[in-house]
Amino acid sequence: MLFFKECRKTLFSLTFLIYIIALIAFYITQFSPDSKDKLSPPAQGLEDYGTVAEEVPEILMPAAAEGLLTEYLRGYYTAYPIGFCKKVKLSEKKKTQMAEIITEITGITKQELDSFSDFDEGGMTMMPDGNGGYMPVVKETTLSEINIPDNMPYKHFRELMQKADKIIGGGSEYSNDNIVSNFSRIPRTYDDALKDYNDIIEKDKITGAYARLFCDYMGIIVSILPVFAAASLTNFDRKSRMEQLIYSRKISSSRLVFTRFAALVTILFIPVIILSFTASFSVMKLYPDINTDFFAVPKMAVFWLLPNILFSSALGMIFTETFSLLIAVFVQGVLWFGITGNISRFTLVCRHNSLYDRNSFIECYNKFIFNRISYTLISLLIIILTSWIYSMKRKGDFNVIHKNFIRKSKT
């Protein structure tokens, strides 16, 4: 049967072995340490209980204004327009538009901005260690105090920040989705910390919190390495001249491509499910006296991680089928920039790197659902397109289309 033949091909490939090693390594080094010690209620009287995002205009406005001014003076802006990290440099026209926003907020004119001298970007620097050598030291950004007019309405300030986000291209720190979490964090109290702990026990039933953390770590691997697996299998068929044999058979292109895709995704997802049950078992052993949900981690793995495997595998197949293995590897490199540390509508690698802060995940839950369904549907569309390309290649039409496209591009 074709499905099992394709499964066997994936199972005994070198890329699958590397994938397994990477998954186990991440599980042992990242997730296992967090599942060895029981969570304890917060102690009273501590000086620091961390911070929590809360919309406080008095905190948000000066912090966001400072961030915008810093990026203007630095010359580029960090954004995640479709989940991938991007450094945005503005054209002169857009730079002037951004300067107008900063001027309205701070009173600093464009001429003053462009001749600003009291600014140090900060970052890592080397300082003498006293023993004749040097050591890396984090140097803080230095910037003059920013004064926002007292009569600046908060609503108008947020509109200006949204306008700045559009100039950058969307997905910046100043977007409505990100501005509060980036620029308005307040210290958590003991009561906040205690509520967070109780939510893990009562609402997450312990395993729900560990499920998010498990998917956070595993999501990095399953979003990257399947590109290699898909690309290497397609490339293997090409090198071993299996394509010529397949082209001569009567099996339909759509059936062949979808069967390969299903086999690849199945084999790649099996070790993830095995590790998810292993994680559930280790957590239940840690909390024998609490009513936990044994299937919380596997269920979360299906909804959280399967779309990543689908998308990454589909990309590997279509780019290798259309172009080459090198292009697929290049795409794999680009995918690394998807590791953004947040959850948005188009973030490829959804992150929640904490057992705590359940509320922040719940606040993003609708975006998370939209995100996972979107990537699943996009993956299926990519495979449909791959099957069409494969069909064209079998008929000999694809090379003609490809050559015509290149000819038109040159002219």
Q: Assess whether 276 and 404 both reside in one domain.
A: yes
Beta bridge partners of 58: none
Asked if 141 and 122 touch (Cβ cutoff 8 Å), the reply is: yes
Domain endpoint, select from 187, 210, 245: 187
Q: Assess whether 34 and 147 both reside in one domain.
A: no
Question: In sequence order, what are the residues at sequence separation of 6 or more whose Cβ sits closer than 8 angstroms to the Cβ of residue 102?
Answer: 65, 68, 69, 72, 108, 113
Looking at residue 220, its pLDDT comes to 86
Q: Assess whether 87 and 168 both reside in one domain.
A: yes
| Coil, strand or helix at 87 | strand
**Residue 322 belongs to some domain of the structure:** yes
Q: Assess whether 145 and 261 both reside in one domain.
A: no
By residue range, what is the domain housing residue 64?
51-187
Q: Assess whether 142 and 114 both reside in one domain.
A: yes
Both structure tokens of 368 = 């998370």
Q: Assess whether 15 and 91 both reside in one domain.
A: no
Q: Assess whether 103 and 57 both reside in one domain.
A: yes
Domain endpoint, select from 187, 218, 248: 187
**Residue 14 belongs to some domain of the structure:** yes
Looking at residue 352, its pLDDT comes to 85
Both structure tokens of 248 = 């001569």
Rg, C-alpha atoms of the chain: 26
| Helix extents (H) in 203-289 | 207-222, 225-239, 242-247, 253-286
Q: Assess whether 179 and 226 both reside in one domain.
A: no
**Residue 19 belongs to some domain of the structure:** yes
CA distances from 208 to 42, 211, 267, 308 (A): 19, 5, 25, 20
Cα gap 193→69, rounded to integer Å: 34
**Residue 183 belongs to some domain of the structure:** yes
Q: Assess whether 272 and 402 both reside in one domain.
A: yes
Query: Could you tell me the pTM of the whole model?
Result: 0.74
Asked if 385 and 318 touch (Cβ cutoff 8 Å), the reply is: yes
Looking at residue 247, its pLDDT comes to 47
Domain endpoint, select from 152, 187, 222: 187
pLDDT one digit per residue (tens) for the chain, 411 residues: 788 988 998 888 888 999 999 999 999 999 999 888 888 898 988 888 888 888 999 999 999 999 999 899 888 998 876 556 678 999 999 999 999 999 999 988 888 888 876 666 655 556 665 666 666 655 555 566 778 888 899 999 999 999 999 999 988 999 988 899 889 999 989 998 899 899 999 999 999 999 999 999 999 889 888 888 887 776 666 655 555 545 445 678 788 889 999 999 999 999 999 999 999 999 999 998 888 889 999 999 999 999 999 999 998 888 887 776 667 667 666 665 555 557 778 788 888 888 888 888 888 899 999 999 999 999 999 999 998 888 887 666 555 445 554 455 455
**Residue 155 belongs to some domain of the structure:** yes
Asked if 34 and 293 touch (Cβ cutoff 8 Å), the reply is: no
Looking at residue 127, its pLDDT comes to 61
Structural domains of the chain, count: 2
Question: In sequence order, what are the residues at sequence separation of 6 or more whose Cβ sits closer than 8 angstroms to the Cβ of residue 210?
Answer: 34, 35, 279, 280, 283, 296, 297, 355
**Residue 197 belongs to some domain of the structure:** no
Looking at residue 400, its pLDDT comes to 47
Cα angle at 157 between 154 and 158, to 5 degrees? 90
Q: Assess whether 174 and 282 both reside in one domain.
A: no
Q: Assess whether 280 and 400 both reside in one domain.
A: yes
Q: Assess whether 373 and 392 both reside in one domain.
A: yes
Asked if 89 and 95 touch (Cβ cutoff 8 Å), the reply is: no
| Helix extents (H) in 14-134 | 14-26, 32-34, 57-74, 92-106, 110-114
**Residue 192 belongs to some domain of the structure:** no
